[in-house]
Structure 1
Amino acid sequence: MTENITAPRPAFTLTIAGSEATGGAGAQADLKTFQELNTYGMVALTCIVSFDPKDNWNHRFVPVEPQVIADQLEAIQTCYSGSLDTVKLGMMGSPATIDTVATALKSQSWKNIVLDPVLICKGQEPGHALDTDQALKSQLLPQATFVTPNHFEAEQLSGLSITNEAELIAAAKKIHEVSGAAVLAKGGVRIEGEDAIDVFYDGETLEVLREKKIGDLAVSGAGCSLAAAITAELAKGAAPLEAARTAKAFVTEGIRNRVAGQTPFDALWQGGRRN
Structure 2
Amino acid sequence: MDTKTTFKALTIAGSDSGGGAGIQADLKTFQELDVFGMSAITAITAQNTLGVDGVYPLSEEAVIKQIDAVSTDIGVDAIKTGMLFSSEIIEVVASKIKQYEWKNVVIDPVMIAKGGSRLLQEEAVKAIKEQLLPVSLVITPNIPEAEVLTDRTIRTLDDRKEAAKQLYDLGVKHVVIKGGHADSQNESVDLLYDGRVFDYFTRNRIDTQHTHGTGCTFAAAITAELAKGQSIPTAVGIAKDFIHAAIEDSLGIGNGHGPTNHWAYRRARGR
Q: With the length of structure 1 as denominator, give the TM-score of the two structures.
A: 0.90
Alpha-carbon distance, 1:204 to partner: 2.1
1:74 corresponds in structure 2 to: 68
| Pair 270,188 (structure 1): closer, same or farther in 2 beyond 3 Å | same
**Who is 1:268 aligned against?**
260
Counterpart position of 1:32: 28
Q: Match for residue 13 of structure 1? A: 9
Residue 5 and residue 180 in structure 1: after superposition, are their counterparts in 2 closer, same or farther (change >3 A)?
closer
* Alignment length (residue pairs): 265
Find out whether 1:223 has 2:219 as its counterpart.
Answer: no
Aligned-residue identity in percent: 35
Question: Given that residues 209 and 256 in structure 2 are in contact (C-alpha distance below 8 angstroms), is that contact kept between their aligned partners in structure 1?
Answer: no
Between the aligned partners of 2:134 and 2:249, the Cα distance in structure 1 is 36
Taking CA–CA contacts closer than 8 Å with sequence separation of 6 or more, which of the two structures ends up with the larger relative contact order?
A: 2
Letter in structure 1 aligned against 2:143:
H
- Give 1:62's aligned residue: 56
Distance 2:8 2:221 in 1: 13
CA contact (8 A) 2:85 2:124 kept: yes
Counterpart Cα distance in 2 of 1:136 and 1:60: 23
Partner SS state of residue 106, structure 1: helix
Tell me by how many angstroms 1:96 deviates: 2.1
Give the aligned partner of residue 87 of structure 1: 79
Kindly indicate whether the alpha-carbon contact (under 8 Å) linking 1:148 and 1:183 is maintained by their aligned counterparts in 2.
Answer: yes
- Aligned partner (choices 178, 184, 204) of residue 192 of structure 1: 184
Counterparts of 1:208 and 1:258, CA distance in 2: 25
**What is residue 139 of structure 1 aligned with on the other side?**
131
1:171 and 2:163 are equivalent in the alignment: yes
Secondary structure at the aligned position of 2:152 is classed as coil
Within a 5 Å distance, the mapping from 1:93-132 to structure 2 comes to 93-120=85-112, 122-124=116-118, 129-132=121-124
8 Å contact kept, 1:119–1:132? no
Q: Are residue 41 (structure 1) and residue 37 (structure 2) matched?
A: yes
Aligned-pair distance for 1:186? Answer: 0.6
Which residues of structure 1 form unaligned runs of 5+? none
Query: Residues 124 and 167 from structure 1, CA distance in 2 versus in 1: closer, same or farther, beyond 3 angstroms?
Result: closer
Moved more, 104-113 or 230-239: 104-113
Alpha-carbon distance, 1:57 to partner: 2.0
1:263 Cα offset (Å): 3.0
RMSD: 1.9
**Uncovered stretches (5+) of structure 2, i.e. residues with no partner:** none
Which of residues 228, 252, 258 in structure 1 aligns to 2:250? 258
**Letter of the 2:2 counterpart:** I
SS at match of 1:255: helix
CA–CA separation in structure 1 for the residues paired with 2:137 and 2:108: 11
Say whether residues 1:154 and 2:146 are aligned partners.
yes
How far apart, in 2, do the equivalents of 1:148 and 1:188 lie? Answer: 12
Alpha-carbon distance between aligned partners in 2 of 1:38 and 1:205, rounded to the nearest angstrom: 30
User: Compared with structure 1, are the counterparts of its residues 218 and 260 closer, same or farther at alpha carbon in structure 2 (3 Å cutoff)?
Assistant: closer
Matched residue type, 1:177:
D
Query: Is 2:207 the partner of 1:207?
Result: no
2: distance between equivalents of 1:188 and 1:43? 27
> If the length of structure 2 is used for normalisation, what is the TM-score?
0.91
Q: How many Å apart are 1:199 and its aligned residue?
A: 0.3
One-letter identity of the residue aligned with 1:195: E
